[in-house]
Structure 1
Amino acid sequence: MTSLSDPEVATWTCLVSFISLVSSIISPDSVRLVNGTRLCSGRLEVKSNQSNQWWSSVCEDVFDQQDAEVVCRELGCGAPSVLQGALYGEVEAPMWTKEFQCGGHESALLDCRSSGSDRNTCSPNKTVGLTCSEPVRLVGGDSRCAGTLELKQGDWRPVEGSDWSLKEAAVVCRELDCGSAVSMGQRDESSGRFVWRIKSDCVQSGSSLRECVTSHFSSSIMDLTCSGMLISDIIYVPI
């Protein structure tokens, strides 16, 4: 059997270390949501041991709204909309034992400070269940419930919805807590750019918007108006 020379061993060691580093940068999988109905919902689990791949559930007693904001951001989702114990099922140990102390601005949950003391127990029905909103927004309109539809999948881009109806648009309005879809239409820009195309049949199947998106080059983008604008923006003046 031929053995490697010292320079070859050194080169191989450096290569393995580089691949490991790149892998950790590309896949920083330190948190996940499991048993949810969509990519942005589920029972929160934290990787408590990188080498042994241990995943720990988190107790609601050591987790708050600011922590939830960090998790949703880390997963590429929108803001947290529901934080409730046992929402996506209960599990036995292991449990995360230290209290998270996030400021809300961190890019990853494990970047947050944590308490020095351990909590070894978690009351029944207290395992963190988290639902983050879809990373969608309406921009350039008269209110947050009207404008050009944009979705974040790595970066924010406008959406081209040439095959959409008000039925698919209603999914976006609900995600934004803006009531129902009132009107939608395509607007042609002077030049093309990369946009997101969201397949209507995928949305109709119940999948999340993020699961239905593909990159596309187009000059056509979608404007949407939801009923929330018509309700929340009215100012009542007593006679």
Structure 2
Amino acid sequence: RLLNGSSRCSGRLQVKTNSSDQTWSSVCEADLDLQDAQVVCRELGCGAPSVLQGTLYGDAQTPRWSPEFQCGGHESALLDCRSSGSARSSCSPGKAAGLTCSGGDEFRLVGRASRCAGSLELKYLGDQRPVMDKVFTLKTAALFCEHLNCGSAVSLESTDVSYQSMWKIDSECFQSRSDLWNCVTSFFSSRILKLTCSEKKLKSTKI
């Protein structure tokens, strides 16, 4: 999975190396090369890797690290790749691997002069649609602002439009940036969500 990114296809890389163990491990930047990244992006259903960088999506607080993967680039899943066999005991601060794949799903705010205010739209599975109003609180809306690197949520509005197909995001399901993409469904509605963020970019926070 990729955490803290602006889309499903970007963020800090974590892997679950044992299916019977539900704990996620971070990947050290030094252990991720282009071939590994190609496999990760393919496994997540995203496009080719475009950025590999530590600290871009926050540092890792967890003490667990994955072994070094040795992918050829053709594998369908990261765990299909050969690995060093043993996990790292540590990694330098700020060196948790971050990855951005192309062609990912993404949010945007449209209809106003600022990129940090407007009607919320989501490109999901290649389909760009408005996000329907679903009784979001400012606390929940703040997660959208964080996704957009636009600081905190300032105000929420609900606006009537023509009845159309929209993306519905279950606010009870959506409690963190990491589980957002499991909470999206298609829905018909006539009310869209308008959001204004503070525009001040937040510093990366540890998770």
Normalised-by-shorter TM-score class: 0.5 to 0.7
CA contact 1:44–1:129 (8 Å) conserved in 2? no
**148-157 or 201-210, which deviates more:** 201-210
State the Cα distance separating 1:159 from its structure 2 match: 0.4
For residue 142 of structure 1, the aligned residue among 113, 123, 127 is 113
The corresponding residue for 1:60 is 29
Quick one: distance in 1 between partners of 2:58 and 2:151?
22
Letter of the 1:197 counterpart: K
The corresponding residue for 2:79 is none
1:187–1:71 distance in 2 versus 1, CA, 3 Å: farther
* Unaligned runs of at least 5 residues, structure 1: 1-32, 47-56, 101-108, 112-118, 233-239
Letter of the 2:65 counterpart: E
The corresponding residue for 2:66 is 91
Quick one: distance in 1 between partners of 2:158 and 2:4?
30
The corresponding residue for 2:148 is 176
Q: Which has the higher contact order (CA 8 A, sep 6+)?
A: 2
The corresponding residue for 1:152 is 123
1:85–1:182 distance in 2 versus 1, CA, 3 Å: closer
1:196–1:150 distance in 2 versus 1, CA, 3 Å: same
Letter of the 2:150 counterpart: C
TM-score in terms of structure 1 length:
0.51
1:175–1:221 distance in 2 versus 1, CA, 3 Å: same
Larger helix fraction of residues: 1
State the Cα distance separating 1:59 from its structure 2 match: 5.8
RMSD: 4.7
Letter of the 1:140 counterpart: G
Q: Give the number of the structure whose alpha-carbon radius of gyration is greater.
A: 1
Letter of the 1:187 counterpart: T
Instruction: State how 1:127-138 maps to structure 2 within 5 Å.
Output: 129-130=97-98, 135-138=106-109
State the Cα distance separating 1:134 from its structure 2 match: 7.7
* Unaligned runs of at least 5 residues, structure 2: 18-25, 76-82, 202-207
Q: Does 1:208 align with 2:173?
A: no
Aligned length: 169
Spell out, residue by residue over 1:182-211, the C-alpha distance to the aligned partner (whole angstroms, 9 max, x if none). Answer: 11212222x322111112222247762212
SS at match of 1:184: strand
State the Cα distance separating 1:61 from its structure 2 match: 2.8
The corresponding residue for 1:82 is 57
